[in-house]
């Protein structure tokens, strides 16, 4: 058996023992939303416009117990969804989860990421959360997925970051040492880990980090096992992350938390350093930011396969011809205080509220302006805040 097969077998055994994620099954659609799993919102974030089609194909690569899969089905009512995973136990939970909540446009397959080429066709959106870093060969994994991404499609990826997981790495190694020849017995690993946390002093760095960041979710053994006794994990920094990204042959679009990657929030009081940083490449800039703020426990980002059109809304004529509609990932509307796509509170002016009320997905910006005293820069601001989606008008 190859190393890759050994790792795949061990990972499947972990998730058969502790199906993950362990979220409860519901007899109704899951609450809220994750905008990264909403095709309209994700596409709008990446391109600045509403996608031109809704009847898309979605792949949830490494779907586990179907928590993300369920959202992908419910948040994209015109899409067909496929979920794949190594673990038969996790897939059994995923099937029940989706059946109970009415997520009926999904097919599941017990399949490795390496073998995703066995699936027919291409996918407009590929979701791969918490999977690549558990492969023995992540580059081979991302390359296999990239071959299944349709032109103009998006891939959403989540992988671990080494700087924010330093204490987790130490604990993983400590548990492995104490397990000895019992390594691979995941229930024993959880028991050993629990005993360590119950024994070492409260002011211990590992204990303090666990209490600050992870202890609430790690009350469940499934979470604890996934974090501390996983048989395979590769944690990234910016440089190794971009080695992975570049190997895919796809284009890097953006991190899904762009505000974190703004140097001004860290060095805003030193304009001379901001000026020096302009000589850095984007990758060097990202590296500088994570070195100065080493809380990065994971990276979440989008890749694309060209062509990925991005209209220039700074051109007045282009914006005037656009058809605006309210973002589906906006909660509390039509209140003047709403939660945006990222669950951040946004306060709307009276004029912005009036404009949004008229954004029906059929009427052009030029037709709305005479009815509301709003300027084009305010419209651009609403678009940049992801509160409206714009569809280019005819001829654009």
Q: pLDDT confidence of 396, banded at 50, 70, 90?
A: very low
Q: Which pair of structure tokens corresponds to residue 389?
A: 């989606």
**Domain end point (choices 201, 228, 255):** 228
Q: Could you tell me if 88 and 223 lie in one domain?
A: no
Residue 1 is predicted with a pLDDT of: 36
Kindly state whether residues 150 and 292 are assigned to the same domain: yes
| 260 shares a domain with 330 | no
pLDDT at 134 over 60: yes
Distance CA(391)–CA(44), nearest Å, equals: 10
Judge whether residue 395 has pLDDT over 80.
no
Instruction: Decide if 298 is inside a domain.
Output: yes
SS3 1: coil
**pTM score of the predicted model:** 0.96
Residue 111 near residue 62 (C-beta atoms within 8 A): no
Residue span of the structural domain in which 340 resides: 316-389
Neighbours of 281 (CB within 10 A): 9
Q: For position 123, which CATH number holds? A: 3.40.50.150
Q: Which residues contact 43 (CB under 8 A, 6 or more apart)?
A: 49, 50, 51, 154
Pairing of β 149-160 and β 123-129: parallel
Instruction: Based on the fold, state whether residues 148 and 268 are members of the same structural domain.
Output: yes
- 300 belongs to a structural domain: yes
Domain count, the chain: 3
> 149 in a domain, yes or no?
yes
pLDDT digits (tens, 9 = 90+) for 231-240: 999 999 999 9
Domain end marker among 180, 209, 228: 228
The predicted-structure confidence for 157-168, as pLDDT tens digits, reads as follows 999 999 999 999
Is the dihedral angle over the CA atoms 17, 23, 28, 33 positive or is it negative?
A: negative
Rounded average pLDDT over 372-387: 97
Residues 8 and 104 in one domain: yes
**DSSP code, position 331:** B
Omega of the bond leading into 21 within 30 degrees of 0 (cis): yes
For residues 86 and 110, state if they share a domain. Answer: yes
Joined together, the tokens standing for residue 250 give 């796809």
Residue 73 within any structural domain of the chain: yes
Tokens of 57: 């194909």
Residue 3: predicted pLDDT: 73
Tokens 């709003």 correspond to what residue?
Answer: 374
Under the banding of pLDDT at 50, 70 and 90, the label for residue 301 is very high
């Amino acid at each position: 058996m190859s190393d890759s097969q050994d790792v795949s077998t061990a990972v499947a055994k972990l998730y058969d023992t502790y199906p993950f994620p362990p979220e409860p099954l519901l007899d109704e659609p899951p609450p809220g939303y994750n905008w990264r799993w909403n095709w309209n919102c994700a596409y709008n974030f990446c391109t600045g416009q509403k996608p031109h089609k809704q009847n898309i194909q979605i792949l949830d690569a490494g779907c586990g117990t179907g928590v993300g899969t369920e959202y992908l089905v419910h948040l994209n009512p015109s899409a067909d969804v496929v979920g794949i995973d190594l673990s038969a136990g996790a897939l059994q939970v995923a099937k029940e989860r989706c059946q109970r909540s009415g997520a009926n446009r999904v097919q599941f397959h017990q399949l490795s990421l390496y073998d995703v080429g066995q699936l027919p066709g291409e996918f407009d959106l590929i979701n791969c959360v918490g999977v690549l870093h558990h492969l023995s060969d992540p580059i081979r994994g991302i390359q296999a997925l990239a071959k299944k991404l349709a032109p103009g499609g998006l891939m959403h990826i989540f992988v671990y970051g080494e700087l924010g997981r330093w204490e987790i790495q130490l604990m993983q190694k400590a548990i492995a040492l104490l397990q000895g020849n019992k390594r691979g017995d995941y229930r024993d690993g959880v028991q050993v880990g629990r005993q360590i946390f119950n024994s070492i002093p409260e002011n211990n760095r590992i204990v303090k980090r666990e209490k600050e960041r992870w202890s609430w979710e790690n009350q469940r053994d499934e979470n604890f096992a996934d974090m501390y006794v996983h048989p395979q994990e590769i944690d990234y920094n910016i440089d190794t992350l971009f080695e992975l990204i570049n190997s895919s042959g796809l284009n890097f679009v953006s991190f899904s938390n762009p505000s974190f990657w703004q140097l001004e929030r860290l060095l805003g009081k030193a304009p001379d350093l901001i000026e020096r940083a302009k000589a850095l490449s984007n990758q060097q800039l990202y590296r500088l930011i994570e070195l100065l703020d080493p809380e990065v426990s994971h990276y979440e980002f989008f890749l694309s396969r060209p062509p990925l059109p991005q209209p220039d809304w700074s051109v007045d004529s282009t914006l005037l011809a656009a058809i605006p509609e309210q973002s589906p990932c906006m909660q509390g509307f039509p209140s003047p205080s709403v939660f945006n796509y990222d669950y951040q509170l946004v306060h709307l002016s009276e004029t912005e509220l009036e404009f949004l009320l008229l954004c029906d997905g059929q009427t052009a910006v030029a037709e709305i302006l005479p009815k509301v005293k709003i300027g084009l820069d305010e419209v651009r601001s609403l678009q940049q805040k992801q509160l409206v989606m714009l569809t280019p008008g005819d001829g654009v």
